[in-house]
Structure 1
Amino acid sequence: MGIPKVSETVERLWNGWELRMVMLLSLFLQIFLILFGRRRKYTAGFWIGKLVWLAYLSADWVATFSLGILAQKIGYSETNRFNSNQGLIPAFWAPVLLVHLGGPDTITAYSMEDNELWLRHLLVLVSQVAVAFYAFARSWWSEDPLLFVAIPIFVAGIIKYGERNWVLRSASSKQCRNEMNELSRKFEEFSNPDVFEMTDEPVVGELGLSDIIDEAKFLHEADLCFQMFRVLFADLVLGDSIHLATHIFLREKTAMAKEAFKLIEVEMGFMYDVLYTKLTKIRSLRVIFRATTFLCLVSALLAFSLGMSRHNHAYLTAEIIISYLLLYGAIVIEIYSVVSLLFSDWAMLWLTGKRKPLFNYVYRTICSSGFLHNDKRWESKMAQHNLIRFQLSKGKSTFISLMKLLGKSSIQSLEVVGDDLKKFIFQYLSDKRRRYKSMKRSPDPGSNDLHGILSERGHQVIGREGCLGNLGWSVTLPDFNESLLTWHIATDICYHDDVRKHGGDAKNIPPNCKMSIELSNYMVYLLVDYPFLLPRGIGNERYIQTCSAVDDDAILLERIISGQHYSWDFGRTISKLQKSRRKVSVLCAGFKLARSLQALVTQDGWENERKWEMISQVWVEMLTYAASHCGWKEHARTLTRGGELLTHVCLLMAHLGLSEQCLTT
């Protein structure tokens, strides 16, 4: 067979299967998105994130491309039915693509910017409906006896596509702000500052939560916190009416930090659903729309099946098979969406909110079945990045190449945020709250303790220990990122020095040491990968210059962190590091700080446990400083990666009243 013959065969094959393949591809992308689109809510997996991004961008393009081909092919099939190889293209394929453009319930927006472009999506809706109607109109005068099957699918497609635009508009910044202006009126009865003296029980009664079953009370408390989050997200001011009520809930959980974090996890899940999915509070209008969509798709499938049984059609076998796949696929996706909603926190909130024995029984049954109630939340993990270890590992080409291939070139490991760390953070925030004079504060944040408390980034801890003279310089540097990297280097060196003094046995290191290392590595990970979550500065340049300084003295540092250099001392090491020409490197400053910290034990008579307790508290204070100086839009962006510990801390602070948006009315 010559080349012209092969080319002609390929062209004929492509012309015959072009539309079929793009229709199946559009269906496949919808199935992929509904299965994996919501996994971003609780996991930061690299491959999942990238594949969802690719599928999300491709889904609309493929559906739009298919509509264009369909409009052309339908007219061609109508004028070429004398060809025995040409059959009718089902007219309902066009509205099926509208259903696909409506998107799955598990993902409506990939990022917050998609919500702001809802008006553009509305214009696309109008244009795509017009194209689909045009393709349908070209079949109107055909001999296709199943033309009417397209009508219910048109209804379903317009509902789903319209619902998507409605959800995008509802999640836009302007609309969120308009809705939140009405929210504060709900809590006007708490505007009296005496609410701070109330116990949990009266507040629960005032909010109508007293008759909620104990197993579900956390859902309703999380919903209240979520309403507060939406106010914060809209950059509005919170009065005592809201944040003191949430503070009472958290105050009662002082001994149960795990429950407080669980409350934040549910709250963040609610916010993720509102910003990025169609899964929100159950409302009668949406139930009617969902039922209408499902019935339309089922009726279309039944009508098509009935038409196939009469054998009076002009469809080819391939078109029949693909038609069944499209119809069954649309119905299965719709069923999956309904099931996802029925077993979500939203449905559980609605069930228990009815306050009826039957509904409470259903809730308990669902909760007792792990298979049914699978609305996953935060994985309670934080990424780790150790500057010195990571830079030294670059010499190991296999390791760094593999990390880059996986798209995690800056993540060395993921550490579980354990209950001990949660308790440590929550107790520290509670202590901050007790130091805040809530009963006498001024509406001006600059004239009360709140502004000063939120500005603490380590000096309060060091001052309490009487070490401002020796260590104060490290936490009062103009650039927060410089302080962060300096303490990161110092914490790492102190750890290795302690291990060296214990003969290489890391098991005898105090518990606070592990928390300090984990928080230190986590904060540097944020600096490297997500600097927008931290206060502005030249952190990136400092990081690069410090990495270069590590390269300059790689042999010495390799011996120190590996425990091989058992006789090294700070004086000679610092003298060597001071010769570095890296102007904004903090490697030398980190060693100086480490020497001062170790001197607390060797010269000032401190217990090693006391030293690490202070270091861990400094890191928590840096964590809280960064959390409170990050915008809510930036925090909301982290929800698509499973959420960050930093966002949990920021929300805990806000619910405790430790936010400059929490002012008196």
Structure 2
Amino acid sequence: MDINNLSKRAQELWNEWEIRSLILLSLFLQILLIVIGNRRNVSRSQGGSGTNRINPTPNNIPAFWAPILLVHLGGPDTITAYALEDNELWLRHLLQLAIQASTASYSLFKSWGKDPLIYIAIPIFVAGITKYGDRVLVLWLASSKKFRDIQSEEVDTFQSKFDNKFPSVGFFDMSEEDLNKGLEFNNIIPEAVYLHEAHFLFQMFKIFYADLALSHSSHMESYLILRSKKKATDAFKVIEVELGFMYDVLFTKMTSVCSTRTILRSISFLSSTSALVAFSLMVANKCAYTETEVIISYILLGGGVVLEIYGVIMLLLSEWAMLRLSLPEKPWANAVYQAIYSDNNKRWERNMAQHDLADAQITKNGSAFWTMVINSLACKPTPKVCFLKLIGKDNIQSWEVISDELKELIWEYLIDKRSRYSHEMPQPDPGMNDLKEILAERGDYVLKKMGCLEEFRWAVVEIDFHGSLLLWHIATDICYHDDIHNNKVDANNQLCKMSRSLSNYMLYLLIELPNMLPKGIGEARYKQTGIQLTEFSTRWRSKETPRPHWRSEEFMKEIKNLESNVSMLHDACKLARKLQSLETPVKWRMISQIWVEMMTYAASNCGWKEHAQALTRGGELLTRVCLLMAHLGLSEQCLTTASTSSREAHDA
């Protein structure tokens, strides 16, 4: 075949299918986004100058395809922003809306009176403007400046609403029944109370996110809500629903079911449906387009209507709709709620990523490459881990389930931490508060409580957080393998498993999400220590059992002899030796609580913007812990009685 003829034929095919293929691709992407969005521009338009009802021009594209692209640019309800930065670019999207609307209008103007189906473009154009305008509005409302302005206006209203209902003292003596009555939860069906609790906490979360402060009575209400939970899993469940509300506000259009949104969605749906009906009637009268163009038009118009219906169904089944359905004095709505809603919220990851320094092979040039050492892991990498490796997430080696036992461990620690915090400012200096000291704890309180602070102070207080994290990570790993190898503990020991899981999770944050941890030189120190650990640990991997373990005694002896060359590793082994001198049950109770305390320290030192951005990745355990702390009053944004009085006096 002549190469020139082949090239000419390929060009003809492209000219014929350029717009068709791109607009079908646009529809496919819309379907993909709307389906996976709640898990987590185009070519030119040609006006018809030669179209007529008798002799259609094969290369003449239907003019109403142009505004369909405008509908697609509006995006699905499940995704408006892919990152928080997108919300700050709302003005750029507004400009893009103006440009795209002008382009579509120009295309319609060129085809006016020449295309028998031009009138179908009008309702499609209306639907496109509605959907795209709605997206710009949502982005604008979620932008940091507008978000803060809204919360600044609402914070006083929110706080005064509950300050008038609850006494300023005696919160600890308030019963759950009195609390529910004050918050108007007493008339809500029991199955839906947690939704309303989560929404109440969400209103506080918005204030935290806007970097504003809450009054004493407001955060005492959230404390009482959480304190009433019988199990840690119940407290985490409420927090996860709350995170879902915040995710919808920051990254989707599914923020509420109100009259304004109902009108906008109705306009969009009716416009898309009327366009499909009108096109069907005109096709019956034999329009001038080819069979291929008619089929594509049906796919585009029908697909648009289906996506509209799917979006409405998703909204009606969302927490926002269920929240309104379960309001008091709506018996019929309560029946519907109980019939259709499931509280099995699977929006968030129930796992935490794991990264073990001993299993990460670090090369001498400082680069880290991911590997799964079969001798040290019981199973092969999951498809999810392999996919993350493919896209560059080499530091995720596996996933561990956030078990109920781990939630209970975290919850008990937070309740104990909260019990040590007095909301009353010490006198006479109202500028001092023990809250700062409590939030600054990163292992030292646990050691002090167990009478070991002086012995281990150098590993928690006298070293930066990143260095302490690395020391305890390596020491935990050594103690774990050594105790298993010497039959001191069972492999299924809960404290051992939870300690190691938290250790690997915190190291994952250090390497993969350092912005969520206090500032430091963790990456450089990680690489240096990793190179040294790789060099020495491979010699002391025991292969005597089906599940191999460290022969830690030999390993630590060699590290001790090479102290001058491997300072960080030497300190970790020194820490491991001291830990091994403790009684086994005491040791693991201490290690597990130290890791929880280190995590709470990191959580309280992570900005809300970083926590919010983590929601696009399925949410982090660190974010749940931070929210729990804030709602318990363990946050500097929670004002004490004295500071609230000072603020009120200043405002007066």
Counterpart in 2 of 1:239? Answer: 215
- The range that moved more, 375-384 or 476-485, is 375-384
Counterpart in 2 of 1:325? Answer: 299
* Cα offsets for 1:210-230 (capped at 9, x unmatched): 211111000000001101111
Counterpart in 2 of 1:179? Answer: 150
* Cα offsets for 1:454-478 (capped at 9, x unmatched): 0000000101111112111101134
Q: Counterparts of 1:383 and 1:407 in 2: how far apart (Å)?
A: 15
Query: What secondary structure, in the 3-state scheme, does the structure 1 residue paired with 2:14 have?
Result: helix
Superposition map of 1:135-214 within 5 A: 135-142=107-114, 144-184=115-155, 185-188=157-160, 190-191=162-163, 192-194=167-169, 196-197=171-172, 198-214=174-190
CA contact (8 A) 1:499 1:509 kept: no
- 2:439 corresponds to 1:454: yes
1:89 to 1:565, Cα distance in 2 relative to 1, 3 A: closer
1:523 to 1:635, Cα distance in 2 relative to 1, 3 A: same
CA contact (8 A) 1:105 1:337 kept: yes
Counterpart in 2 of 1:54? Answer: none
Counterpart in 2 of 1:310? Answer: 285
Q: Counterparts of 1:533 and 1:204 in 2: how far apart (Å)?
A: 35
Counterpart in 2 of 1:346? Answer: 320
1:34 to 1:340, Cα distance in 2 relative to 1, 3 A: same
Superposition map of 1:402-421 within 5 A: 404-405=389-390, 407-421=392-406
Counterpart in 1 of 2:553? Answer: 568
Q: Counterparts of 1:187 and 1:560 in 2: how far apart (Å)?
A: 62
Query: What secondary structure, in the 3-state scheme, does the structure 1 residue paired with 2:360 have?
Result: helix
Counterpart in 1 of 2:377? Answer: none
1:446 to 1:388, Cα distance in 2 relative to 1, 3 A: farther
Q: Counterparts of 1:252 and 1:91 in 2: how far apart (Å)?
A: 61
C-alpha deviation, 1:439, in angstroms: 3.6
CA contact (8 A) 1:411 1:525 kept: yes
Backbone CA RMSD of aligned residues: 2.5
CA contact (8 A) 2:16 2:59 kept: no
C-alpha deviation, 1:246, in angstroms: 0.6
* Cα offsets for 1:76-110 (capped at 9, x unmatched): 655x9998653643221111111111111010000
Superposition map of 1:500-519 within 5 A: 500-502=485-487, 507=490, 510-519=493-502
1:258 to 1:125, Cα distance in 2 relative to 1, 3 A: same
C-alpha deviation, 1:410, in angstroms: 1.1
* Cα offsets for 1:96-136 (capped at 9, x unmatched): 11111111101000000000000110011011100000000
Q: Counterparts of 1:32 and 1:566 in 2: how far apart (Å)?
A: 50
Counterpart in 2 of 1:74? Answer: 47
C-alpha deviation, 1:240, in angstroms: 1.3
Q: Percent identity?
A: 52
Q: How many residues align?
A: 619
Query: What secondary structure, in the 3-state scheme, does the structure 1 residue paired with 2:394 have?
Result: coil
One-letter amino acid of the structure 2 residue matched with residue 25 of structure 1: L
1:510 to 1:577, Cα distance in 2 relative to 1, 3 A: farther
- The range that moved more, 205-214 or 115-124, is 205-214
One-letter amino acid of the structure 2 residue matched with residue 588 of structure 1: H
CA contact (8 A) 2:425 2:432 kept: no
1:342 to 1:613, Cα distance in 2 relative to 1, 3 A: same
Query: What secondary structure, in the 3-state scheme, does the structure 2 residue paired with 1:612 have?
Result: helix
Query: What secondary structure, in the 3-state scheme, does the structure 1 residue paired with 2:37 have?
Result: helix
- 2:503 corresponds to 1:520: yes
1:251 to 1:91, Cα distance in 2 relative to 1, 3 A: same
Query: What secondary structure, in the 3-state scheme, does the structure 1 residue paired with 2:581 have?
Result: helix
Out of 629, 641, 645, which is 2:621 matched to?
645
CA contact (8 A) 2:187 2:328 kept: no
C-alpha deviation, 1:5, in angstroms: 1.6
One-letter amino acid of the structure 2 residue matched with residue 128 of structure 1: Q
Which structure has more helix as a fraction of its residues?
Answer: 1
TM-score (norm 1): 0.88
Counterpart in 2 of 1:56? Answer: none
C-alpha deviation, 1:331, in angstroms: 0.4
CA contact (8 A) 2:559 2:569 kept: no
One-letter amino acid of the structure 2 residue matched with residue 637 of structure 1: Q
1:416 to 1:563, Cα distance in 2 relative to 1, 3 A: closer
Q: Counterparts of 1:188 and 1:240 in 2: how far apart (Å)?
A: 11
Query: What secondary structure, in the 3-state scheme, does the structure 1 residue paired with 2:353 have?
Result: strand
One-letter amino acid of the structure 1 residue matched with residue 446 of structure 2: V
C-alpha deviation, 1:141, in angstroms: 2.8
Q: Counterparts of 2:427 and 2:135 in 1: how far apart (Å)?
A: 44
Q: Counterparts of 1:576 and 1:534 in 2: how far apart (Å)?
A: 33
CA contact (8 A) 2:355 2:398 kept: yes
Out of 325, 345, 353, which is 1:383 matched to?
353
* Cα offsets for 1:144-193 (capped at 9, x unmatched): 22221111111111110100000000111111111111332223254453
CA contact (8 A) 1:343 1:374 kept: no
- The range that moved more, 459-468 or 393-402, is 393-402
Q: Counterparts of 1:440 and 1:289 in 2: how far apart (Å)?
A: 50
Q: Counterparts of 2:34 and 2:353 in 1: how far apart (Å)?
A: 27
Counterpart in 1 of 2:579? Answer: 597
Counterpart in 1 of 2:17? Answer: 17
CA contact (8 A) 1:77 1:86 kept: no
CA contact (8 A) 1:190 1:240 kept: no
Query: What secondary structure, in the 3-state scheme, does the structure 2 residue paired with 1:415 have?
Result: strand
Counterpart in 2 of 1:541? Answer: 524
- 2:126 corresponds to 1:126: no
What stretches of structure 2 of length at least 5 have no aligned partner? 363-368, 375-379, 645-652
Q: Counterparts of 2:428 and 2:154 in 1: how far apart (Å)?
A: 20
Counterpart in 1 of 2:205? Answer: 229
Out of 439, 461, 481, which is 1:496 matched to?
481
Q: Counterparts of 1:518 and 1:630 in 2: how far apart (Å)?
A: 21
Superposition map of 1:225-374 within 5 A: 225-253=201-229, 255-311=230-286, 313-367=287-341
* Cα offsets for 1:467-508 (capped at 9, x unmatched): 112111101134100001100011111111112221xx8626
- 2:36 corresponds to 1:36: yes
1:261 to 1:77, Cα distance in 2 relative to 1, 3 A: farther
One-letter amino acid of the structure 2 residue matched with residue 303 of structure 1: A
1:633 to 1:443, Cα distance in 2 relative to 1, 3 A: farther
Counterpart in 2 of 1:102? Answer: 74
CA contact (8 A) 2:80 2:135 kept: yes
Counterpart in 1 of 2:632? Answer: 656
CA contact (8 A) 1:456 1:625 kept: yes
CA contact (8 A) 2:541 2:551 kept: no
Counterpart in 2 of 1:55? Answer: none
Counterpart in 2 of 1:437? Answer: 422
C-alpha deviation, 1:549, in angstroms: 0.8
1:506 to 1:466, Cα distance in 2 relative to 1, 3 A: closer
1:489 to 1:577, Cα distance in 2 relative to 1, 3 A: farther
- 2:524 corresponds to 1:529: no
Counterpart in 2 of 1:89? Answer: 61
CA contact (8 A) 1:77 1:87 kept: no
- 2:594 corresponds to 1:618: yes
CA contact (8 A) 2:315 2:321 kept: yes
Counterpart in 2 of 1:558? Answer: 541
One-letter amino acid of the structure 1 residue matched with residue 389 of structure 2: K
Counterpart in 1 of 2:605? Answer: 629
Q: Counterparts of 1:331 and 1:424 in 2: how far apart (Å)?
A: 49
What stretches of structure 1 of length at least 5 have no aligned partner? 41-60, 602-607
Q: Counterparts of 1:176 and 1:193 in 2: how far apart (Å)?
A: 29
Q: Counterparts of 1:397 and 1:649 in 2: how far apart (Å)?
A: 31
TM-score (norm 2): 0.90
1:99 to 1:487, Cα distance in 2 relative to 1, 3 A: same
CA contact (8 A) 2:232 2:411 kept: yes
